[in-house]
Structure 1
Amino acid sequence: MLIAFISPFIPLKGGISRFSGLLADELQVKGHAVRPLGFKKLYPSFLVRGHSPEVPEHRSAANGGDAVIVLYNPLTWLALLRNLKRERPDVLLVAYWTGLLAPLLFVVRKLSGIPTVVLLHNLATHERFALEPILQKLLFASADGYITLSGEVSGALEAAGNAKPVIRLFHPVYPPFSGIEQPEKSEARRFLGYDQDAPLLLFFGYVRRYKGLDLLLRAMPAILDAWPDTRLLVAGQFYEPESGYRELIGQLGIAASVDFRPGYAADADAARYFAAADAAVLPYRQASQSGVAQLACGYGLPVIVTSAGGLAAEVEQGRTGWIAGEISSEALAAAVIGFLGDPRRPAMPQSVREYAAGHSWERFAGEAANFIRSVAKP
């Protein structure tokens, strides 16, 4: 098939860009021609509080296609339509994670007439807004089929009354960043300045309210009562005022045990963080699935998660990580303490690698391609 893939691609940062690049690569390995059609910009600066795209070190062979789209500029949608008219792909594959994409998707589907499969990372935007129901109707009027990454999203589609074909797949495991040598744990801790034996927890990724960093910080006093040497490393770009979190740390009296590394992490830095940690903690209030969990898995790192959305489905309790009983700081503290004291903990990295082997990009791309073909050529 000739697949036109509308998505952010590198150099735009973020998990969606990396996901789409890896998927495009694997689809091409399987013999399909993939034309990446990327975004120049996604959001006006006032919506992202001045955060501009940064260029990660990682590059994917499938990236570098025509980045003609500015999401908030409909004139660029016309350039996209001209591109599609020239290429005449068999099918459109569209990465979708926010309702703000729905008008673009609707216009392109209706004016191009090309069968469209939506790769649905989320059905509802994490930070919901008043126009969400209208945008959801535009989505349903545009898609000919859906690929979901979790039962959470598939269930939301069904509950919303979707009648189009759906395949529920999974979030593949991210491999370690290409071209970056993975350091040994002792070397990474020495470089970052951490004790070789003290427990080290990692919070990684964008800092937004729904990701629950405040819940994890409020859990730290109880964790430190049980494991006094524990350190928490917070590595990510703040989309909320960093000062509020620092004030909370001061109020809780845990400043000596929490380290902030704000900003978008370069690949080499991220590799050190995952190598040094004992577990990645995902204290999310809301989630469908998580790229951070699958990134940790690629490094053989267990995860500690809340029961939000589809997170628990990505973790095998006591084997690849630990699941908090509820979304609260008390439950998070109990989960971390249980994980750190579990005699099975030394064997968990091997169990994580075994899990990763069954959640490969090769398997995902094969199943996705079969579904895309069925929609493109029913």
Structure 2
Amino acid sequence: MADSRRIVLVGPMYPYRGGIAHLSETMAACLLERGHTVHAITFTRQYPALLFPGRTQYETGTIVERAVEAERLIDTINPFSWWRTAGRIQELGAEVVIFRYWIPFFAPVFGTIARILARKNIQSIVVVDNALPHERRPGDVVLGRYFFGAMQGCVAMSSAVDRDLDQLGVSCSRALGPHPVYNSFGTPSDRARARKKMGLAKDLPVILFFGFVRRYKGLHVLLDSMPAVRDSLPDVCLLVAGEFYDDEEPYQEKVESLDLQNQVKLVNQYIPKDEVADYFAAADVVVQPYLSATQSGVAQVAYQFEVPIITTDVGGLAEIVPHEEAGIIVPPGDAAALASAIVRYFVEDMQASLMAGVRRQKQSLGWDQLLDAIESVM
């Protein structure tokens, strides 16, 4: 364990929603438990409204007490707030600032704050969800290099992220710290109660696609696989739970053109933190048909609730879902292979045989690996 340090964690935290915010809150609590002094700073404005594809950027549902309350200081499009934030970090007596990084939009604000702090000999390190975005745009590499050029330490959350850091030429001290299993979504819900709440029969085979919908997540491929799944499992239900960041209409049209209205249940909304357990309790298996990825927090939520996973061999997903141990790995974009895997899972009753592997992964993806990696680059 590292010596106690005065740390400021910078990134999304409550009242902002989403997996990165939830992980940041737990990270702050875990660093406190390790004896560090921890403060947190988040946004007054995370995204301009015109750039945010969802309905709201804020957490809904029950408010829970957090170990560290974040100060809201950073306006991503107001550089004056960047200087004020750097000044506040100095006032807090920070020795180390830990940034969260996942898309290049945040490179100017975080990179500038880090450069201001470097003049005061305050170390900046980063926990990297994605070094390069899933959906690439011109300028991503330039922005990434601006940000990572200001870091003295980087923790990659998967080997795929680490390879992207190589591509960006990141030369600072680096470590690998796998995305830990979440522990922030409460205890498992009762399966029968969860299904009743969602209007699902207790004996239906239920597939869960969870999280916001973008094309790279491959929901369209999963929909294409469903007619073949239905042929073998007439009562199957695909539960899609997450807000559409893409236009929902093409997905609805696909459901209708494939005559899947009785097999697909779309819940087009952000799932509040206190409702997540119900969706995983209702599911027999989680399917992540991603076309591209570095890593995904959905798998770690599935492990929290001990639900096996069918996913694709992209990025770091196969690292955390050992094939035929904790789930099934299929090629990306292959609806036939995906359908075959889903049918096999139910016909061969693989939920029971995979459960031991799911529990091993849950145990192995605890918080110590990530925390050790963070401390190794401080």
Distance 1:16 1:154, change over 3 A: same
Instruction: Give the structure-1-normalised TM-score.
Output: 0.93
Match in the other structure for 2:88:
83
Q: Which moved more, 1:196-205 or 1:105-114?
A: 105-114
Partner of 2:124: 116
Which among 303, 314, 317 is matched to residue 311 of structure 1?
A: 317
- The correspondence of residues 1-378 of structure 1 with structure 2, limited to 5 A, is 1-49=5-53, 51-56=55-60, 57=62, 59=64, 61-113=66-118, 114-175=122-183, 177-178=185-186, 182-365=188-371, 367-373=372-378
Q: Which runs of no fewer than 5 residues in structure 2 stay unpaired?
A: none
Letter of the aligned partner of 2:230 in structure 1?
L
Looking at structure 2, the residues matched to 119 and 155 of structure 1 have their Cα atoms a distance apart, in angstroms, of 15
- 1:300: Cα distance to partner? 0.5
Match of 1:376 in 2: none
2:126 and 2:154 in contact (8 A); partners too:
yes
CA distance in 2, matches of 1:140, 1:355: 31
- How big is each residue's C-alpha offset from its partner over 1:233-277, in whole Å with a ceiling of 9 and x where there is no partner? 011011112222111100111111000111111234321110010
TM-score by length of 2: 0.93
Which secondary structure state, in structure 1, belongs to the residue aligned with residue 49 of structure 2? coil
**Partners of 1:64 and 1:84 in 2: how far apart?**
15
Cα-to-partner distance string for 1:168-208 (whole Å, 9 max, x where unaligned): 11010012523xx5322222222222122221000111111
Shift of 1:369: 4.1
8 Å CA contact 2:111–2:147 kept in 1: the answer is yes
SS in 1 for 2:265: strand
Task: Tell me the distance in 2 between the aligned counterparts of 1:237 and 1:221.
Answer: 24
1:127-173, Cα deviation, whole Å (9 max, x unpaired): 32111121022023211111011010111212332221110110100
Task: Sort the Cα spacing of 1:61 and 1:372 in 2 relative to 1 into closer, same or farther, 3 A.
Answer: farther
Over 3 Å counting, the alpha-carbon distance change for 1:192 and 1:245 in structure 2 is same
Any conservation in 1 of the 2:173–2:377 contact (CA below 8 Å)?
no
* Cα gap change, 1:240 to 1:229, in 2 (>3 Å): same
Work out the CA distance in 2 between the residues paired with 1:364 and 1:138. Answer: 25
Query: Identity over aligned residues, as a percent?
Result: 32
Q: Is the 8 A contact 1:22 1:60 kept in 2?
A: no
CA distance in 1, matches of 2:274, 2:7: 32
- In the aligned structure 2, how far is the partner of 1:62 from the partner of 1:91? 19
Asked if 1 retains the 8 angstrom alpha-carbon contact of 2:26 and 2:184, the reply is no
> Per the alignment, in what secondary structure is the counterpart of residue 72 of structure 2?
strand
Equivalent position amino acid for 1:97 in 2: W
SS in 2 for 1:255: coil
How far 1:49 moved relative to its partner? Answer: 3.5
- The CA deviation string for residues 30-59 of structure 1, in whole angstroms up to 9 with x for no partner, is 100111111122111111246322324353
- Which structure 1 segments of 5+ residues have no match? 374-378
Partner SS, residue 46 of structure 1: helix
Question: Is the CA contact 1:116–1:143 (under 8 Å) kept in the aligned structure 2?
Answer: yes
Q: 2 CA distance for matches of 1:131 and 1:369? A: 28
Name the amino acid aligned to 2:48.
P
Contact kept, 8 Å, 1:98 with 1:122, in 2: the verdict is yes
Distance 1:271 1:50, change over 3 A: closer
